Structure 1
């Protein structure tokens, strides 16, 4: 893996899949051309009023004999109905029936409602009037706010969720943007989610229930900006543990669910454009190559570039390359080095397309998105040292100009086949690609040489995630007093990242800036990551009910494997003899063919011995879980056994024969939980949960080899002695669901960490970052949530909805002060804000098909970097944002959305010891989207 692949190789699979997706969508458009429905549809879910589980085999009948349907294994139903007002009767064996009044269906519209059935003898048959006419165009039932709240109320765990309907009313376009409105969630670098102050190593993300790999080189965290919000049906955050989940549960599991096939035909297209006050219309620094519409770009190594080290030939050993070969290779990859100015930055632009329908028992959902964005950013950074008396003094001070272009493309294809009333089989696929081209110019004072420098850097990065899953849900009526379900899933996911970077540094002399012989000047870096996860699981649940006792017994097995391969390559134009070469010229002039030879600049390998590694990880698991209910009480508990085996291999390719180092870590662990739920009437729950889970070291944390970040940072050495940590969690929540779509809740949580794994900096020949099990850590907090239509105040407020959530978090990590040069060995966890606030006010008038939202968010200050050698911690200062969102139906299926993000144009600021460490203005962003649904 010493040689790195080219961008063309990386994108070939993507382009083939995109071509297939485009062809399928084209066929769907042709097929849908004549499909103009006159009737409407009704969809919903039927739930057990005691346990909240789906009622399978319930009959949903429209009075008058117009239509009838039976609920499937997931309790869902769908009906084709003529336009008009209907009454619907829901019945099931062993349950009281329920009659739903005033179900209004408009021509070519979709009505949604759910019913809760009580066991026979525990309540009279009910007659319910739908207070509000529900007319939703092309929205899946699971995505509606009321259905998601019903799922939350019935859940055995403490969860929060947000559906596509709610996401569409907010600003932002990806999963990360959607999650920042959820209680207890904060974002790091606008793409990594922290749940209750815990992120990175403590994060777990699944896609349609299966684990997905990471595109990050040195950690397992999944960047959520890769996943377009338009492709998601809902997002669930599980904040308490149950044994059916993986045992490496910490603060919460984030579950991304892609769009399912709709109850009626969906055919939509959309176009969007974006403006940023700091970018659009201003000169944009650019890489000379730019990006193609598919995201291709950069300057990768040629496919036939030698795999072995590029070094001068040894007269004794006979290995290496001769001067002529080195000259030829240097001239071949010299390429471009200097960012260029450009015309004014254009508007961002994007497009989307979606098709979905059901054909009897077969359903299909296809969708694709493409987006092109630009960013221009002026940034200031100052680095400090400790002066006399402990005061901090500036060490390096730089001004940066960034120019960034991004292209993101995503597509998904989901297919489902219902096997009668007893089950369904699904195939889900998704591919997403994010390409970035960055040009950077840096200037300022560099204290190491006591002089001013100029730094030119070009960077290209391409990230890709693909997922293919097949699974099924089957109901078996003959096993168990109330039947049983078998659920199975198998998935294969691959994440790939390619990066190439080149950099030159100039130093100030009397005649101007000259190219310097710094190790990072004339430097080129190429790397590739491929991370693959295969995840297989099967779950069997059997249900029972006797009198006022009810519940289920559930068992399951799961195996997932993770294979990762990383290859890095570092090359440099080394100045052997620069006499006669004008070092004040541009890099392109300096690295011209005339200057690349034995007596000028010579291509040299500077790859570290451990820049390439491979690793594998396998976890086998089995669990048993009991869900037992009695009157208003429900108890859910169980145990999960996991066997983990992890191997990391690195090869020193600079050594003869390629010496290999292998590190193995194996763990056997039991995770478990106990949850108690007390129903306080029909609309309230009181929940308590206690659990023990594990946190295992990641690949590079256990491998005893040295590696260094591309630019800056400490040398990092893994520690084979680091062991897994244990996490004991205690959670409680009171929740009230006063009406459909409304919720009021209060939660408290406490987590105690035994032997937590933490990054520490130790004093050595040079400061070194490593990983250790530290003394301990704890994390506690409070969450408040209020979302309610204000009609309870008075009729004048019926069109207004208030949204509020608040999170308080207090954490502490304890590191042995004698083993580290960290200034504060006892401090809050990195990336954890103490306070999080989200406020929103929504107005939906009775007419005009308008939705208007004003949104406010506050993220408190948090530690960005732990200080060392007496320096204070680097603090990311508190920031707030005001966003405005206006959605307007125009005519027919035409829809307009206008969003303003960071309307007050708040700056981003980091500080150290009260002094500015980093500062930039992200600008005010305005986006306009126009969509049409056929």
Structure 2
């Protein structure tokens, strides 16, 4: 994003210069076929003077020349050069606009310009990738606009070796602690109390500039690196005034105008806002746990809303709205101010009807255990706002401010119906849940150039982020059929209400100085990042205290009506000790790297990073009974070396190699010496204070060829060796309770292939067609050794890792009519979703083939229509154990129409 900021400032400076007086030649260079401006085009005076200039981002140029007659040459890679003869300059500036014709079917020698690039465009990203010191892959807003993807989680799966499991990204088959996410270079905490990653659906595509997957480590990066780092770059301000409105409407075959599960909520649920209906009642004591003997027990029990049962309603169409405006203002002296403001809102209904089956092992054979159906309905809403502003004091100094806010809500109802082998009865269970997540990210940063030839570059940034997650009043209710009579089952997760809040505040900064030292380019810097997390939850269960068991056969609302509260039912506190904890974390780092030429075409980037990391966690809810608080305090010192080699095989091809030794650290709850309850998976999780950080050897090799500015072919491989990797293992055969252990070792080996090409190479008739594809083949193996516990397999692939991932896209572009069509295909190989235990085999999510299509049509200069279809194969998602289905559902086909209006 810093490079893009420099682009905007460069445009501002050159544009400001155009307003000054004098004599010479000025104009604009464009593509004769498309009319688009051409940036960084050399404009050279070949007769009459010795002058040279390059066009800016808008294709504009200006040559200051004294009165006279001149010959001027305009030339760009893959365009026919133009010589303007005998151009006479007298008073003022002569305007000379030039349109260059593309060279069809031939390729001239590439001119590499070291400078800023348009990081949103495909060609700009490829140039950035070619010049980078590390192995990386990117996707920009230009490519994202050609897909039906609605947020960062949807878009990142188009990158080689990236898959999305739930809300989390897996890079090279590695997820969780092994795949970090950053925003403008700063790591964000997760909104999941037990999770590792910031959920990607908090970032609507309207706020994104680029998604970059950094696949090799360098000393400037955070040392918690294994699978890679997903870098999210937010949109920056445009060089000229822009205003845009996007409105979309869509439908899904499984949810829109179809029956789905829902429940009676609040008056503002449509906007994803709880109006207070679900808040913790004021009558609940705040100084002690609630018991049935409490004098206020009846009053408190009556203060909860008496809504327990789901109902059905028709799903509404999906919709979204995005409004953005931005501009850059310039003044004499090189000063400029740019801004971009964007607001987005989206809402969608979802319905998932699934068949679920569980098994037990009997003489090495799978035997049916539970068989039931699941009806799940949810409404997702997302609010987002971005403000990006920058001020250029002069061409060498600039400062920018970013403020990003995102709020996401899932309002859901679920009904399970079937047979339970554990209870030997038919059952129906209901869960009502309203979960909301919030992210606020603020960053101030600056760049300053000074010294001889402005060779010193000082970069700094400071950041503050706040993430919050709230789950107000999640309700669980379970009924069993007893002798043909449906009765309330008083047990864990039945007649219970759960309230939780999570907040994580993080702040820090970094400083780096880049400078030449002879032939070596040095980079030295330091950073600090501090965070504090607070989690608080309370749980309440309604207990039967009466004498008439017939009440247990009533519906939930009748059973827990006001007249039955008190004499027959009372609420009691069921809060766990670990339902309140306070955690602090600090990371201090320093780094030094050097880029040095080893030969004419070979350069090395060697570096070292030193990190001091500390964690402290204290747990203990005053509302839990019969337990003692627990605490954990630990610190580590980690040195991390790195070496990247880049060999320019030709002007258009690179051979890259990299090695690094990095770290993966345990999270707060993984080291806490107590049990906590995972409400999502219905199992207990135990922390382990004896966990140690994993160390990872990373090795990469890649060959890449850039035949043109928009084409690439690459082939690469990677190898990773994990020392004492942290694994989640099953420790109880009853409920599948899990804990964390350091396994002995693990390895991951992969091959990555990618190609993007214009089919005009085959025939001129096919010139409007572009083809892109990438394929990743990954093999991993974890050896649990002594930490196997009761896990079925001592050696297995990494959980969530797909053995192969492939993407194919075919695009058609007709500039004259403004028509663009893109067909996209994505597939991943089967992967372990749940690790087997007590002789039960691992559960595998089966391969899923997805085909999407996008049609974009320009209706006028201000109006564009975009039609998309996703999951056109309408394939089901299937999870299996030993080839037998345990979970199956159909996500459905989605069609969306979007209108994009740019009034100016």
Q: State the TM-score bracket (shorter-chain normalisation).
A: 0.7 to 0.9
1:348 to 313, 318, 342: 318
Which residue of 886, 895, 899 maps to 1:930? Answer: 899
**Relative to structure 1, is the Cα distance of residues 45 and 308 closer, same or farther in structure 2, using a 3 angstrom cutoff?**
closer
Matched, 1:380 2:355: yes
Question: C-alpha offsets along residues 693-732 of structure 1, whole Å, 9 cap, x if unaligned?
Answer: 0111111111101112226543211111111111000001
Alpha-carbon distance between aligned partners in 2 of 1:148 and 1:140, rounded to the nearest angstrom: 8
Structure 2 residue corresponding to 1:128, chosen from 70, 76, 82: 76
Match of 2:221 among 245, 250, 263: 245
Query: Conserved in 2, the CA contact under 8 Å of 1:60 and 1:89?
Result: no
Query: Do 2:577 and 2:627's aligned partners in 1 also have CA atoms closer than 8 Å?
Result: no
Contact 2:743 2:784 in 1 (8 A): yes
Aligned to 1:522: 495
Q: Does 1:646 align with 2:579?
A: no
Give the 5 Å matches for 1:884-903: 884-903=853-872
Structure 2 CA distance, aligned partners of 1:258 and 1:140? 16
Kindly state the Cα deviation for residue 346 of structure 1 after the two structures are TM-superposed: 1.5
Q: Which residue of 2 aligns with 1:149?
A: 126
Deviations 1:416-449 (A, max 9, x none): 0012111210100100011111011110111111
Q: What's the offset of the Cα at 1:477?
A: 2.8
Check the 8 A contact 2:180/2:230 in 1, yes or no.
yes
Give the secondary-structure state (helix, strand or coil) at the position aligned to 2:76.
Answer: strand
Alignment map for 1:725-740 (pairs within 5 Å): 725-740=694-709
Q: Equivalents in 2 of 1:130, 1:767: separation in Å?
A: 62
* Offset of residue 873 of structure 1: 0.2
C-alpha distance in 1 between matches for 2:149 and 2:288: 45
User: Is the Cα–Cα contact under 8 Å of residues 643 and 658 in structure 2 kept in the other structure?
Assistant: yes
Q: Counterparts of 1:97 and 1:878 in 2: how far apart (Å)? A: 60
Q: 1:737 to 1:846 in 2, by over 3 A?
A: same
- Partners in 2 of 1:668 and 1:86 — Cα distance? 47
CA contact (8 A) 2:42 2:76 kept: no
1:663 lines up with 2:632 in the alignment:
yes
Q: Which residue of 2 aligns with 1:851?
A: 820
Contact residue 327 and residue 596 of structure 1 kept, 8 A: yes
Mapped contact 1:734–1:745 kept (Cα < 8 A): yes
Structure 2 residue 580 is the aligned partner of structure 1 residue 612: yes
Match of 1:498? Answer: 470
Alignment counterpart, residue 342 of structure 2, candidates 346, 354, 367: 367
Whether 1:296 aligns to 2:273 is: yes
Counterpart-to-counterpart distance in 2, 1:846 and 1:529 = 50
Shift in alpha-carbon separation, 1:584–1:714, aligned structure 2, 3 A: closer
> What displacement does 1:221 show?
1.2
Using the alignment, how far apart are the partners of 2:843 and 2:122 within structure 1? 40
Aligned-pair distance for 1:300?
Answer: 2.4
Greater Cα shift, 54-63 or 811-820: 54-63
Report the alpha carbon displacement of residue 491 of structure 1 after superposing the two structures with TM: 0.5
Distance in 2 (alpha carbons) for counterparts of 1:176 and 1:703: 30
Q: Is residue 866 of structure 1 aligned with residue 814 of structure 2?
A: no
| 1:326 pairs with 2:315 | no
The answer for the alignment partner of 2:370 in structure 1 is 396
Find the residue that maps to 2:262 and give its secondary structure: coil
Q: TM-score, normalised by structure 1?
A: 0.85
* Alpha-carbon distance change, 727 to 881 in structure 1, aligned in 2, over 3 angstroms: same
Q: Where does 1:413-812 land on structure 2 (aligned, <5 Å)?
A: 413-478=387-452, 483-499=455-471, 500-544=473-517, 550-579=519-548, 582-597=551-566, 599-629=567-597, 630-654=599-623, 659-710=628-679, 712-763=681-732, 768-812=737-781
Contact (CA 8 Å) 1:210, 1:535: kept in 2 or not?
Answer: no
Instruction: Specify whether residues 98 and 692 from structure 1 end up closer, same or farther in structure 2 by C-alpha distance, changes over 3 A only.
Output: farther
Distance in 2, Cα, partners of 1:619 & 1:44: 28
Measure how far apart 1:659 and its partner are. Answer: 4.2
Structure 1 residue 321: Cα displacement: 2.1
Partner of 2:95: none
Give the secondary-structure state (helix, strand or coil) at the position aligned to 2:79: coil
Task: Report the Cα distance in structure 1 between the residues aligned to 2:616 and 2:755, rounded to whole angstroms.
Answer: 47
The alignment status of 1:179 with 2:127, answered yes or no, reads no
Within the candidate set 146, 168, 179, 2:145 is matched to 168
- Are the structure 2 counterparts of residues 466 and 330 from structure 1 closer, same or farther at C-alpha, using a change threshold of 3 Å? same
Query: Compared with structure 1, are the counterparts of its residues 398 and 197 closer, same or farther at alpha carbon in structure 2 (3 Å cutoff)?
Result: same
Q: Which of 159, 162, 169 pairs up with 2:136?
A: 159
Shift in CA distance, 634/482, structure 1 to aligned 2, threshold 3 Å? farther
Q: How does 1:196-345 map to 2 (within 5 A)?
A: 196-289=172-265, 291-297=268-274, 299-303=278-282, 305-312=284-291, 321-322=294-295, 325-342=296-313, 344-345=314-315
Moved more, 877-886 or 514-523: 514-523
Q: Deviations over 1:338-381 (max 9, x none)?
A: 11222x22111111100000111000000011011001111111
* In structure 2, distance between residues paired with 1:536 and 1:652: 33
Separation (CA, whole Å) in 1 of partners of 2:695 and 2:395:
43
| Stretches of structure 2 lacking an aligned partner (at least 5 in a row) | 29-34, 62-72, 81-98, 102-115, 331-335
Give the secondary-structure state (helix, strand or coil) at the position aligned to 1:341: strand
2-structure distance, mates of 1:631, 1:353? 50
Write the distance in 1 (CA, Å) between the matches of 2:624 and 2:535.
19
Map Cα deviations across residues 817-869 of structure 1 (whole Å, 9 max, x no partner): 57411111200000000011101110112421011011111111000011000
For 1:759-808, what per-residue CA distance to the aligned partner results, in whole angstroms no more than 9, with x for missing partners?
Answer: 12235898642211111001110000001112222211111100100000
Secondary structure of the corresponding residue to residue 180 of structure 1: helix
Question: How many Å separate the matches in 2 of 1:739 and 1:269?
Answer: 34
Change (3 A) 1:215 1:711: closer
TM, length-normalised to structure 2: 0.87
Q: How far apart are 1:915 and its partner, in Å?
A: 0.9
C-alpha distance after superposition, 1:502-537 (max 9, x if no partner): 011111134532212222221111111111221310
Q: Aligned in 2, Cα 1:888/1:304: closer, same or farther, shift over 3 Å?
A: farther
Q: Secondary structure at the match of 1:833?
A: coil
Check whether the contact 1:575–1:601 (CA below 8 A) recurs between aligned residues.
yes
- Unaligned runs of 5+ residues in structure 1 are 1-42, 48-53, 70-81, 114-124, 314-319
Larger deviation: 624-633 or 443-452?
Answer: 624-633
Shift of 1:163: 0.8
- Between the aligned partners of 1:56 and 1:774, the Cα distance in structure 2 is 55
Q: CA deviation at 1:127?
A: 3.8
Contact 1:97 1:126 in 2 (8 A): no
Q: Contact 1:111 / 1:134 at 8 angstroms: preserved in 2?
A: no
Change (3 A) 1:84 1:747: closer
* Alpha-carbon spacing, 1:585–1:679, altered in 2? closer, same or farther (3 Å): same
What aligned pairs does 1:66-85 form with structure 2 within 5 A after superposition? none
Paired residue secondary structure (2:748): strand
Post-superposition Cα deviations, 1:241-288, rounded to whole Å, max 9, x if no partner, equal: 000001111111111111111011110111111100111111222121
CA deviation after TM superposition for structure 1 residue 682, in Å = 1.3
Instruction: Please state how far the C-alpha of 1:584 moved relative to its aligned partner.
Output: 3.0
Q: Distance in 2 between matches of 1:536 and 1:749?
A: 32
**Partners of 1:97 and 1:451 in 2: how far apart?**
89
Distance 2:529 2:666 in 1: 16
Tell me if the contact between 2:38 and 2:59 (Cα under 8 Å) persists in the aligned partners: no
| Structure 2 residue matching 1:215: 3-state secondary structure | coil
Which whole-Å deviations, capped at 9, do the CAs of 1:47-91 have from their partners, x for residues lacking one? 9xxxxxx9999999999845599xxxxxxxxxxxx9999995479
- CA distance in structure 2 between the aligned counterparts of 1:225 and 1:247, rounded to whole angstroms: 25
- Aligned with residue 410 of structure 1, among 376, 384, 398: 384
Could you tell me whether the CA contact under 8 Å between 1:140 and 1:260 is conserved in 2?
A: no
Q: 1:818 to 1:742 in 2, by over 3 A?
A: closer
